[in-house]
A and B are shown apart, each in its own frame.
Chain A
């Protein structure tokens, strides 16, 4: 279902735009219906104005001020944005870390997801059992995941034991400024099951006739994967890519839990500072609400830019069946 949400949303928007325009003259009954419509949507409308639109406008204003919330805000114009972009090395470090994490964890999760889904899509005995094992980690709350991965990634933890079997000396992961980001990526791959089940259900829906035709043409399993399976699941890959990127750019809880002990959110020397940990620290540790709001808007711009790029390139690699018909 979720795979359809993007398409559904666009379709619904188009339909509602058409039906939205109604003649201005309304019957008494029509007016009553309209009254009830506004009455019934009022919870959303109040929430939209009070918790979203209002705060958004306020956020724009706050980002143009310097404000600790105790003394009156001081108007500084675009100073906060200038400082973030041209003066604050921590901002660029946080942006770089966030890119690094997203650029590796999201594609890696998708590759693992496609690979596992393709294996599960075969005539495997005990498929349900395997799928449960792969899906189970996605049900674990992030805080619990972070707690157990503190141990999985401990210098003498199970991951380093595993590497040791292959003669690889494992790093200190979370304790080492160079390895904490790879550690976060390892944690993220534990959640690859979410993409796997979505991809598996998409693969399940591919008409078997396509494989028969490929088989008759002499294509082997690998060729069949790239020629039949892969194009058919590109919409789901695309959906997971967008959702994964948006989530990855907002990484926070894991980093907070891993680094709060060090006394500085984001770790010593900001080794694992991300955009959201930076804005959290600026806002709630230092009370730099203006600067933190500017960081929030820059994060929003980055997410928008990547979403747009993804949609732009989608035309080249995402396959929709309706295009062929």
Chain B
């Protein structure tokens, strides 16, 4: 999973200075923080350049079939063929509606799997004592370094042996066995929760699973929301996994379905780019929505990186 996506808004939303001992009043006079017209010029230019692909995406998605066939797109929209947004589901010859549903189901079940398994395993690593735990945790950390390509081929052969090829199982099931990074995140989070409450609950006769279920799990939701977001984002956009395991159109998620949309039977024929871009927008919008709904939790998790966290 891309680590870099993990700390989006970060501390930059914080009012200046609180962290730096009230530096705000001084900053005004410091030359390093002076924004010149050149600063604005560069920021505006970069923002504009970074935004062009979005505008182009929208422009192409609204282009007529005629423009699409001629590949004569403009960055600024000149046509507004809104019917493309319904045509994408009916006119491509591919079950695009199914693609979307498949993506939702695969990503949703994967997130459920990661949340359930990483919370339980992370709790055990944070709270329970057992001989061999240190070694196990070292293994957790070590496995974070292993690139997926090493296990890709044997996993494929294993799933083929199990008859799982061309099902969703290879994409979903491994998530119910968590991954090292999420275990690490939960373990760090739970370690920072005071153990008074669960000790008291244990005195009252609550078992280890009871403590997990009734005390720790309800307090874990910020980190679990973050894990759900990472998993949703990764699975929703994953291309290689579905490419390896799925070959019937009915079962494909949108990320792979889009690629199928661009492969035409005739090499001279152009793909329906306008509809492909509608598909790209459909693929993108949920990610932006998930991020904006979830950034509060990502931000909270961020804070816990440095402070004592939940008391």
The chain A residues found within 8 Å of chain B, CB to CB, are 1-5, 8-9, 12-13, 16-22, 24, 26, 30, 33-34, 36-38, 40-41, 43-48, 50-52, 54-56, 58-59, 62, 69, 116, 119-125, 127-131, 133-145, 147-149, 151-152, 154, 157-158, 161-162, 190, 193-195, 197-198, 200-201, 204-209, 211-212, 214-215, 220-221, 224-225, 228-229, 240, 243-244, 246-247, 249-250, 252-253, 256-257, 260-261, 276, 279-280, 283-284, 289, 292-293, 296-297, 299-300, 303-304, 307
Complex contacts, B279 vs chain A, CB 8 Å: 147
Closest 5 CB pairs of A and B: A20-B134, A47-B177, A208-B23, A1-B305, A201-B10
Q: Is B77 in contact with chain A by the CB < 8 A criterion? A: no
Knowing A4-B306, A190-B50, A261-B262, say if A119 contacts B151 (CB, 8 Å). Answer: no
Q: How far is the CA of A250 from the CA of B183 in the complex (A)?
A: 23
Verify A122–B35 contact, CB threshold 8 A.
yes
B155–A148 contact, CB under 8 A? no
CB <8 Å contact, A34 and B130: yes
B203 at the interface (CB under 8 A from A): no
A26 to B19 CA separation, bound complex (whole angstroms):
46
Does B89 count as interface, using CB distance less than 8 angstroms?
A: no
| Interface SS majority for chain A | helix
Residues of B within 8 A of A (CB): 2-14, 16-17, 19-21, 23, 26-35, 39-40, 42-43, 46-47, 49-54, 56-57, 60, 71, 73, 75, 117, 120-121, 123-125, 128-141, 143-158, 160, 174, 176-180, 183-184, 187-188, 208-209, 212, 236-237, 239-240, 243-244, 255-256, 258-259, 262-263, 267, 273, 276-277, 279-281, 283-284, 287-288, 291, 301-302, 304-306
Q: Cβ of A143: which chain B residues have Cβ within 8 Å of it?
A: 237, 239, 255-256, 258-259, 280, 283
Q: How far is the CA of A4 from the CA of B137 in the complex (A)?
A: 18
Whole-angstrom CA separation of A62 from B147 in the bound complex: 17
A95 nearest CB across to chain B (Å): 14
In the complex with contacts A136-B54, A190-B50, A208-B30 CB distance below 8 A: yes
Q: B139: nearest residue on chain A (CB-CB)? A: A48
Contact of B33 (CB < 8 Å), options: A122, A144, A260: A122
Q: What 7 new A-B contacts, CB under 8 Å, besides A144-B284, A198-B10, A243-B3?
A: A12-B184, A16-B133, A24-B131, A51-B155, A137-B53, A144-B57, A215-B30
Contact of B39 among A122, A139, A211, A307 (CB under 8 A): A122
Q: Nearest-CB distance from A193 to chain B (Å)?
A: 7
Q: Judging by beta carbons under 8 Å apart, are B129 and A34 in contact?
A: yes
Residues of A within 8 A of B54 (CB): 136-137
Q: How far is the CA of A20 from the CA of B117 in the complex (A)?
A: 23
Question: Which residues of B are found within 8 Å of A246, using beta-carbon distances?
Answer: 147
Complex alpha-carbon distance, A193 and B46, angstroms: 11
Contact between A137 and B11, CB atoms less than 8 A apart: no
Q: Measured between alpha carbons, how far is A41 from B154 in the docked complex, in Å?
A: 24
A40 to B53: give the CA distance in the assembly, Å.
47
